[in-house]
Amino acid sequence: MTAATTPLFDPYPTRVVDHATHVDRREPVVWPGPAGGPLPEADLARYDRDGFVTVDQLIEPDEVTLLRAELDRLCADPRVRADERTIGEPDSDAVRSIFEIHRISDLMAELVADPRLVGRARQILGSDVYIHQSRANLKPGFNGSGFYWHSDFETWHAEDGMPAMRAVSVSIALTDNHVHNGALMIMPGSHRTFVACPGETPDGHYRTSLRRQEIGTPDPATLTGFAERHGISVVTGAAGSATLFDSNCMHGSADNITPFPRANLFVVYNSVENALGEPYAARGRRPGFVAAREVG
Ligand code: 6CS
Ligand code: FE
């Protein structure tokens, strides 16, 4: 087996200069592939245009109840709390995220393999898919911290060696996502521009970036221009709804200072044609629990 190597040409150079630069997206958003899938044409068109689409009640209320109880069970389990895949809140001992949750919980494993999710991912990516990353973001009431503006692809390209923009995130709301409790914010249309970020990737960056990301985030001037050009959509939805968003959407979410948790399950499906190589802008690979390297 030949060692994976990073090609000499990098179409999306990032973290190499001290200022943000823009590169037009090279890949399709909705990939051609075997026809058919659960998403109606209108949803595919909206996803192509905006970079995201929301599906009301993708999962049923009784499923939500079971998944919420499972999440509570995991958060109360001292072994889970002590696991390196569990990330704490920066300012409290509450849980911020549990990564690779589909390998920790059988119930979550069942959900991420559900055709209601996988079928939509295959339809958008035009190929078979595998799970690049899964996580629960708990965003508890009163002290659930936010996620600063970023493109996931910028990190997955720079730090995980993801070659192209051919991955989709599915966010399943396990609690009601209101405008006020830290809902996902996406700049519609931002997925069509790659924003290279300043700074150099520190060794072991994930140990800090998963708690509070600084490297791999655009500067305020760039974000101001993007927000003026694209606007900002606040993605709300009842528990059980889902949002599918492209790997390169500029997105973030605010702190949650309300009593109402915003607990979402995120699954990232990557095309089997887009398997990870060596990082494009980091000295070492990230661990498998944030960037899976087995495609099958
Ligand atoms: O670094 C990552 O892979 C994670 N960081 C963020 C802020 N979003 C995507 C992913 O969970
Ligand atoms: Fe993200």
What values do phi and psi take at 108, rounded to 5?
Answer: -70, -35
What is the number of the ligand 1 atom nearest to the C-alpha of 156? 3
Which atom belonging to ligand 1 lies closest to the Cα atom of 155?
1
Residue 113 lies in a domain: yes
Of ligand 1's listed atoms, the one at least distance from the Cα of 135 is 11
Q: Work out whether the CA dihedral 87, 100, 174, 68 comes out positive or negative.
A: negative
165 has a pLDDT exceeding 50: yes
- What pLDDT, on the 0 to 100 scale, is given for residue 33? 86
Looking up tokens 């495609």 gives 295
Find the mean pLDDT for residues 111-116: 98
Distance 152 CA to ligand 1 centre (A): 6
How far apart CA 254 and CA 94 sit, in angstroms, is: 17
Ligand 1: residue whose CA is nearest its atom 6: 152
Asked whether 98 and 266 are in contact (CB, 8 A), the reply is no
* 123-141 pLDDT per residue, tens: 999 999 999 999 999 999 9
Query: Contact, 224 vs 266, CB < 8 A?
Result: no
Residue 281 lies in a domain: no
Residue 175 domain-assigned?
yes
pLDDT digits (tens, 9 = 90+) for 6-45: 567 899 999 987 777 899 999 999 999 877 899 999 999 9
| pLDDT band, residue 2 (cuts 50/70/90) | very low
Short-list 201, 217, 157, 196, CA closest to 7: 157
CA atoms within 13 A on the CB side of 88: 10
Residue 102 predicted with pLDDT over 90: yes
222: closest CA among 186, 253, 182, 193? 193
Residue 147 in contact with ligand 1 by CB distance below 6 A: yes
CA-to-CA distance for 245 and 268, rounded, in angstroms? 9
Is 150 near ligand 1, meaning CB less than 6 Å away? yes
Which residue minimizes the CA distance to atom 8 of ligand 1?
152
What is residue 17's predicted lDDT score, i.e. its pLDDT?
76
Per the structure block, which two tokens stand in for 105?
């919980």
Are 179 and 260 a contacting pair, CB within 8 Å?
A: no
Give me the domain span that covers residue 219: 42-274
In a domain, 295, yes or no: no
Mean pLDDT (whole number) for 153-168: 98
CA of 209 to the centre of ligand 1 (A): 8
In whole angstroms, what is the distance from residue 270 CA to residue 294 CA?
11
Atom index in ligand 1 nearest the CA of residue 160 equals 3
pTM, entire model: 0.96
CA angle 222, 30, 188 (to 5 degrees): 30
218 within a domain of the structure (yes/no): yes
The CATH number covering residue 189 comes to 2.60.120.620
Greater confidence (295 vs 62) lies with 62
Q: How many residues does the chain have?
A: 296
Q: Which residue has the tokens 């600084």?
A: 214
Find the 1 Cα to ligand 2 centroid distance in Å. 32
For residue 18, being part of any structural domain is answered with: no
pLDDT at 1 over 60: no
Residue 65: which of 115, 123, 23, 107 has the closest Cα? 107
Q: Tokens for 290, please give them.
A: 């944030």
Q: Is the CB of 100 under 6 A from ligand 1?
A: no
pLDDT score, position 5: 55
The CA angle 293-137-287, to the nearest 5 degrees, is 25
Is 70 among the domain residues?
Answer: yes
The average pLDDT across 243-254 equals 98
Query: Which range (19-23, 167-171, 243-247) has the least confidence?
Result: 19-23
pLDDT in the model for residue 6: 55
- The one-character DSSP state at 201 is P
For position 18, what pLDDT does the model report? Answer: 78
What is the distance in A from the centroid of ligand 1 to the CA of 150?
A: 9
Is 225 within the bounds of a domain?
Answer: yes
Number of separate domains in the chain: 1
Report which bound ligand comes closest to the CA of 213: 1
* Alpha helix (H) residue ranges in the chain: 41-50, 61-76, 78-82, 101-104, 106-112, 115-125, 152-160, 206-209, 220-230
- Taking the C-alpha atoms of residue 153 and residue 151, their distance in angstroms, rounded to an integer, is 5
Report residue 204's pLDDT band, with 50, 70 and 90 as the boundaries: very high
Predicted local distance difference test score (pLDDT) of residue 16: 87
The span from the CA of 124 to the CA of 36, in Å, is 10
CA 266 – ligand 1 centroid, Å: 10
